[in-house]
Amino acid sequence: MNMRVLLVLSIFLFSLMTPFLGSSSAQGPAEMEVLGTAVNPANNHTYHLLSASSWEDAADAARGLDGFLTTIDDAEENQWLFDTFASFDNQSRHLWTGLSDANQDGSYRWHDGSPFYYNNWGDSQPSEGGDEDYVHIASTNMGNILPATWNDLENDPQYFPVYGVVEVGEGADFSLRFDGESDHVEVPHDDSLNISNSLYLSAMVYPYSTDGIHFIAMKGDYGWGMYLNNGNLGYASEYSLSKHPTSNSTVDDNTWSHVEIEFIESVGGEFRINGEPAGLISAEESLLPLGDFGSNDCFTSGDACDELYIGSMGAGCECNYFEGMLDNISIGSSLENSSERIWVSNWSFGEGEGSITMDHEGREGTVFGADWVMPDGTIVAQAIELDNDADYYIESAQAGDQLLFYGDVDDMTKEMYFNMFSWGDFGKDPITIDVYIAHDRVPSSWDHDAYYEAEFSYMWESWSWPEEGNWWFVLVPREDVEDVTITLTWVVADPPPALSEMTELINGIPVTGQSIDSNRQTPFEDRILYYYVNVTEPLSSLSVETYDGEGNINLGLSWLTVPDPFDQWFDIFEPGFIEEDISMDSKMSWSNGPGNEEMATIYDIEPGLYYVSAYTYQRASDFTIKASFTYAPDNIEPEDAIELTPGVAYGPLSGYDGLYQYFTIDVPADTERLEVDLSEGYGEATLFMKYLEAPDAGNYDHLSGSPGAGDKIGFNDPTPGTWYILVYTDEIFANTMITASFEDRYVWSYDGTPIQLFNGEEITGMDAPAGEELYFFIELENPAEYLEITTFGGEGSLYLEGEGNQLFMNWDDDWGEEWSVEEDKGDGNDGKTGGRQGGMPSMDFTSVPVFETSYGEGTEQYMFVSMPANGRFDITLIATEDVTDVGLVANWFESDIPPVDPNPVDPVDPIEAQSCEEIASEEMKSIDADKDGVISLREYQEVFDEDFTAFDEIDLNSDGELEFREVVQEICSCDNELMIVFSQIATFDRISVEVMTSQAYVNTYNFVEMDTNSDDVLTYEELEVAVLLCMTTFDAFDGDGDGVPDKDDAFPDDPDESVDTDGDGVGDNADIAPSVANDVIYSSGAVLFVMLVGVLVFFLRSNNGTQKSNEWNTSQEMPAFDERMMGLEEKSLPSIDQTAYAPVSEQPNLFESYSPASTEPSIAFSEVSELFSSNTQQAPPAELMGMFDANGNEFIEYPSGSGVNWTRGDATQPWSQN
């Protein structure tokens, strides 16, 4: 029992000592030692193996040995390190590398500062668990982590020792790459940059081209500086470039060179290139301009223009930018009478990232556009690995950032897809991201395998049979971007069946009696037969064909594994799907025409196994299958050119990108015309011809670039002798014949009659003087999927115009009503009604007129029309210069759409935008949440953020509420109105001046002046300028636009009236007497009229007594009411004796006694005068009639509009005021 207790106690004590004993032999920096040293023959670098330690201690020791923990650039270096040190001294050793993400999880950097590109992670690594921030090379199996692969560990692992590997040398060296267009570095001025007495300039330069002027550095505005001028080193000694001294030797392009300029002011100096003297600088040229020239740009801007510029020609000229890489730029001087050099500014560009760089004195320079690169031109960026089919989310990135990603694509990958999109772009201005892609190297804008402009931050691209290894992607947003998701997906092909399960096809030997007996229930694996072809040497093409027998067999031909027709994203069983529809450089080919006659072909064949699938959805019996090899032609070099026999076709020919095939034809004297014609076959081919020597794509006498494989060159009076012919393609062609022939002289003649074009048939040898038009036409029996017209060959300049009809799809107008959704009744229809309402909308076609013009250069023109309608399509060739020997061809592909009635469709309604007032009304209703007719500050702030127009700017009367007119005034300002209309009717930020002018506006605009380039089209950029210059003429508070606010306008809806002085409802401009109410005038006029009638009656009565006794026979019994109505009562007429007048011989003049001085106004005129001159209320005249009320009393308002009412019992009574 005591022994057991003692044993337990001993174990306990031992466990307490364990932390002090440790489980590995890690050492601190002072205790570490170098166990071994080796030199890598691949890079000539020296490496030291350290004793076991933590990663940080090993890193400290490495710096003490003038190095860093090792940087591994490729698989070869990784294997050399493993072989050299992992079993050093016959002991297994795990090895520290310099890779770590201790500063930021997931952001790996090498100890020397180099960007992280290459990796060799073990299975499921890096695990990034806990503090596992440091990477080592495994020396033995660690579970599923194999030897020589990488694993991440904590800084000081306690379960096994790890040994550091030091790579002796300087840290990462960075440079700046300049694009030659706008990239530069700008350094603010300080007094130490005012150099006098002497100057020393040096730099490491790597120009991409030595053509032209490339400034390395310049001080201020035409100050001192150095540059390359067509490869010569130049010194900027004054304003004029022509007076600058230059070196007598040049630098090479695409090579690092060390250039130096050194002189003493007014004494002289020299140029040096790579340490060698390269010319003298005379005393007269040894000047030190301060850089204060005062150029126009600096003078007008008022800027100091005294900065130091690197990569451009100073402040006075935005020009002569450097194109290439720069590093280690040094500026120095020396004191007078001293040879000791004083360093003013040294720029080593050691940062490797960011927009700020510093010289040795801490002076900051701002980097504008230039890219951080390694000395070999590789961009400096953090590499992030993309896992297969896993989304990677980019939260945000700034404009110009270089985002680097890679995917380790497996062997036997048959498809690879790259997808990118951004939800953050929705509702915002579109952002474009430049995408550069390369295999097994980091791409850049100047070195890549593929480049894409991802508009709207969207991209989707696929690759067939991509090479295994690392595929690199660099994303460069042109503006700040957010919420970008990228995904790299690759699909690994299943391995092929064992060869014993397949039938071998041997070149040219048919395999007969092949059959597949299947029905609808037959599984896929029983509908297919597998074959293979063993290719042992390079071929031009490999074809497999089937023929004979009955049924319907289809073919697939593939590299690496068997083609699987039942696992394709495209429908290979769709009628018309043939091998030409697949990418020309694909390593997979399909053929599925009707019957058993099929052929699948792959081009540019490397040695290896190729696999064939013969399959059917029905059945196929007794068919034959055969493989055919086409060996690379013998005439791939000019000296091996095949001589053609005149008039005899040679072929068939096949070609692919990179294959050149040469021919010759000997032309005898007196030959009138030579023609070389490619015929038959399919694909895309190009002919080049040159006299006496072999042509190429940049050096030829004649070229035919017509579409398809049917090219032709023909010309009159060929020079006698040998003509070389090159047949080339950058795609593929096959089964093509070539014929050279001597023909009679061809002279083009044209009488102006339109020439009919037929599908694929070329018209060649056309000539036309400048300004002439040639007419052609096409007759389409049925609508076509497309129509393309191409001109080619010859010399001169032309363009094409096309006019005809194009199909337009009409959807059923009642679709929205017919597509009804009801409550889901659980019948499997998801609530959709059955019958007509539950189906898809009906659709038919109509034709609309279309007018197209071509694009291209010279005689190489192209015009494309999508969905041309049946009927006639006219084409006009217009020669802008003299054209000779031009060809033209039209190609189209008929669709299955039946002919469409050529009758024109109804005219399209003109484009009409909502007015700003209508928009304002909608906004008012939308924002006014409580529907009280005004917008409160709270309602406004709930809709618009603080970046929008301030509430107080719209609240013109400052009452804390927005009334409708205030909203209208804001929305209908000239800038808002322009943008509102443009945004509704513009297409791709463009609209014609005519359509823009046709809209209704409340402000006044001149759209012709807005069209600054006079192209009859307004662009968004032009409108932006117009918005800044426009003046708002609209006033929402002046409804009739007469300049008088509605609150002060008596007639707010009448632009011709604004004042009513007498208040009678008639404006002063239309009023007879603006200061007198019209009721008074009309009443007075009535009184005057009554008086005139009285006078007339008087005269009539007087005239009745001329021939007989003038007796008044008027009955005295007449009611007084009638006389009062006419103003004839006795009190208002002069007294007249009713006696008989004696006849007289002469009518007396009644006005002989008229005297103005003695004339008294009549009663009626006295009353009117009193109305005009007095404000006292006068009773209405007795003869004035009123209206009758329900009690039979007569009433009247007098004067009219005064509000004073009068009444009386009948017409015999006087008026009394109520």
Q: What is the 3-state secondary structure (H, E, C) of 165-187?
A: EEEECCCCCCEEEEECCCCEEEE
d(CA 948, CA 72): 54
Is it the case that residue 12 has pLDDT exceeding 50?
Answer: no
Question: Looking at residues 576-596, what average pLDDT do you find?
Answer: 65
Q: pLDDT at position 737, please? A: 92
Is 1025 among the domain residues? yes
Cis preceding linkage at 652, omega within 30: yes
Last residue of a domain, one of 449, 465, 492: 492
Cis preceding linkage at 1199, omega within 30: yes
Is 256 among the domain residues? yes
pLDDT band at 1050 (very low <50, low <70, confident <90, very high): low
Q: pLDDT at position 1058, please? A: 66
Is 1151 among the domain residues? no
Residues 438, 472 within the same domain: yes
Residue 202 near residue 189, CB atoms below 8 Å: no
Question: Looking at residues 115-138, what average pLDDT do you find?
Answer: 88
Is 1134 among the domain residues? no
Is it the case that residue 1185 has pLDDT exceeding 80?
Answer: no
d(CA 1162, CA 1091): 9
Residue 151 near residue 142, CB atoms below 8 Å: yes
Residue keyed to tokens 């509420």: 961
Q: pLDDT at position 768, please? A: 93
Residues 624, 639 within the same domain: no
d(CA 329, CA 178): 14
Q: pLDDT at position 548, please? A: 95
DSSP-assigned states of every residue in 490-553: EEEPPPPPPGGGSEE--BT--EEEEEE---TT--GGGSEEEEEEEE-S-EEEEEEEEESSEE--
d(CA 95, CA 80): 12
Q: pLDDT at position 1150, please? A: 33
Is 1072 among the domain residues? no
- CB atoms under 10 Å from CB of 137, counted, come to 26
Question: Looking at residues 367-378, what average pLDDT do you find?
Answer: 88
* Residue count (the chain): 1218
Q: Report the SS3 class of residue 468.
A: coil
Residue 251 near residue 231, CB atoms below 8 Å: yes
d(CA 929, CA 939): 7
Q: Is the dihedral of CA 1137, 1138, 1143, 1145 positive or negative?
A: positive
Segment 502-548, tens digit of pLDDT: 999 999 999 999 999 887 788 888 889 999 999 999 888 899 999 99
Segment 292-341, tens digit of pLDDT: 887 777 777 778 889 999 999 988 888 999 999 999 999 999 877 777 88
Rg (CA), the chain: 50
CATH number at residue 274: 2.60.120.200
**791, amino acid identity:** T
Is it the case that residue 879 has pLDDT exceeding 90?
Answer: yes
CATH number at residue 116: 3.10.100.10
d(CA 886, CA 888): 7
Nearest Cα to Cα of residue 440 among 368, 355, 378, 514: 378
Most trustworthy range by pLDDT among 686-690, 708-712, 1054-1058, 1154-1158: 686-690
Cis preceding linkage at 638, omega within 30: no
Percent of the chain with pLDDT over 70: 80
Q: pLDDT at position 706, please? A: 76
Last residue of a domain, one of 338, 373, 408: 373
Q: Please, what is the Cα angle at 1151 between 1148 and 1153, to 5 degrees? A: 100
Residues 591, 473 within the same domain: no
Is it the case that residue 20 has pLDDT exceeding 50?
Answer: no
Nearest Cα to Cα of residue 404 among 176, 68, 118: 118
**1109, amino acid identity:** S
Maximal C-alpha separation, the chain: 185
Give the strand pairing for 763-768 and 554-559. unpaired
Is it the case that residue 988 has pLDDT exceeding 80?
Answer: no
- CB atoms under 10 Å from CB of 552, counted, come to 17
User: What's the domain range around 786?
Assistant: 748-817+843-908
Residues 982, 884 within the same domain: no
d(CA 794, CA 402): 46
Q: pLDDT at position 1073, please? A: 54
Is 45 among the domain residues? yes
d(CA 993, CA 988): 15
Segment 821-853, tens digit of pLDDT: 444 444 444 444 443 344 445 567 888 889 999
Helices (H) and strands (E) in the chain, counts: 16, 71
204-218, 315-329, 669-683, 1069-1083: least confidently modelled range: 1069-1083
Q: For 593, which DSSP code?
A: -
Residue 807 near residue 767, CB atoms below 8 Å: no
Residue 547 near residue 597, CB atoms below 8 Å: yes
Residue 404 near residue 394, CB atoms below 8 Å: no
d(CA 1181, CA 1167): 8
d(CA 112, CA 171): 5
Is it the case that residue 496 has pLDDT exceeding 70?
Answer: yes
Q: Residue 740 burial by CB count (10 A; 0-12/13-18/19+): exposed, middle or buried?
A: buried
Segment 598-635, tens digit of pLDDT: 999 988 888 999 999 999 988 899 999 999 998 888 89
d(CA 450, CA 228): 31
Residues 964, 893 within the same domain: no
Residue keyed to tokens 């297919």: 528
Alpha carbon distances (Å) from 292 to 226, 237, 465, 610: 17, 13, 61, 73
Segment 201-252, tens digit of pLDDT: 999 999 999 999 999 999 999 999 999 999 999 999 998 889 999 999 999 9
Nearest Cα to Cα of residue 785 among 883, 690, 865, 687: 865
Question: Looking at residues 894-902, what average pLDDT do you find?
Answer: 85
Q: Please, what is the Cα angle at 272 between 266 and 275, to 5 degrees? A: 140
Residues 116, 158 within the same domain: yes
DSSP-assigned states of every residue in 32-50: --EEEEEEETTTTEEEEEE
Is 1079 among the domain residues? no
| Bigger pLDDT: 68 vs 398 | 68
Which positions ≥6 away from 80 have C-beta within 8 Å?
A: 40, 42
Residues 230, 361 within the same domain: yes
Structure tokens, 564: 């699987």
Q: What is the pTM of this model?
A: 0.53
Residues 680, 579 within the same domain: no
| Bigger pLDDT: 532 vs 464 | 532
Percent of the chain with pLDDT over 90: 47
Is 637 among the domain residues? yes
Structure tokens, 714: 């023909």
Q: What is the 3-state secondary structure (H, E, C) of 214-235?
A: EEEEEECECCCEEEEECCEEEE
Is it the case that residue 1131 has pLDDT exceeding 80?
Answer: no
Q: Is the dihedral of CA 276, 282, 285, 286 positive or negative?
A: positive
Q: For 1165, which DSSP code?
A: H
Structure tokens, 824: 């889901």
Structure tokens, 304: 């100091």
Q: pLDDT at position 458, please? A: 92
Q: For 332, which DSSP code?
A: E
Is it the case that residue 183 has pLDDT exceeding 50?
Answer: yes
Residues 775, 850 within the same domain: yes
Q: pLDDT at position 129, please? A: 72
Residues 555, 669 within the same domain: no
Q: Residue 744 burial by CB count (10 A; 0-12/13-18/19+): exposed, middle or buried?
A: exposed
Structure tokens, 1020: 């968004």
Mean pLDDT value across the chain: 82
Nearest Cα to Cα of residue 913 among 979, 973, 1004: 979
Q: pLDDT at position 390, please? A: 94
Residues 649, 688 within the same domain: yes
CATH number at residue 525: 2.60.120.380
Question: Looking at residues 805-812, what average pLDDT do you find?
Answer: 75
Nearest Cα to Cα of residue 132 among 174, 162, 88, 89: 162
Is it the case that residue 1116 has pLDDT exceeding 70?
Answer: no
Residue keyed to tokens 């050119």: 641
Q: pLDDT at position 1102, please? A: 56
Question: Looking at residues 771-788, what average pLDDT do you find?
Answer: 94
d(CA 1079, CA 1064): 8
Q: pLDDT at position 566, please? A: 73
Backbone angles phi, psi at 1070, to 5 degrees: -105, -5
Residues 847, 903 within the same domain: yes
Q: Is the dihedral of CA 1181, 1183, 1185, 1191 positive or negative?
A: positive
Total domains, the chain: 7
Backbone angles phi, psi at 1021, to 5 degrees: -65, -40
pLDDT band at 1086 (very low <50, low <70, confident <90, very high): low
Q: pLDDT at position 560, please? A: 85
Q: pLDDT at position 1097, please? A: 59
Backbone angles phi, psi at 180, to 5 degrees: 80, 5
Question: Looking at residues 159-168, what average pLDDT do you find?
Answer: 94
Structure tokens, 854: 């071509």
Question: Looking at residues 961-978, what average pLDDT do you find?
Answer: 91
Question: Looking at residues 349-365, what average pLDDT do you find?
Answer: 91
Last residue of a domain, one of 464, 492, 520: 492
**123, amino acid identity:** D
Q: Which residues pair with 530 in a beta bridge?
A: 613
Structure tokens, 373: 């690169």
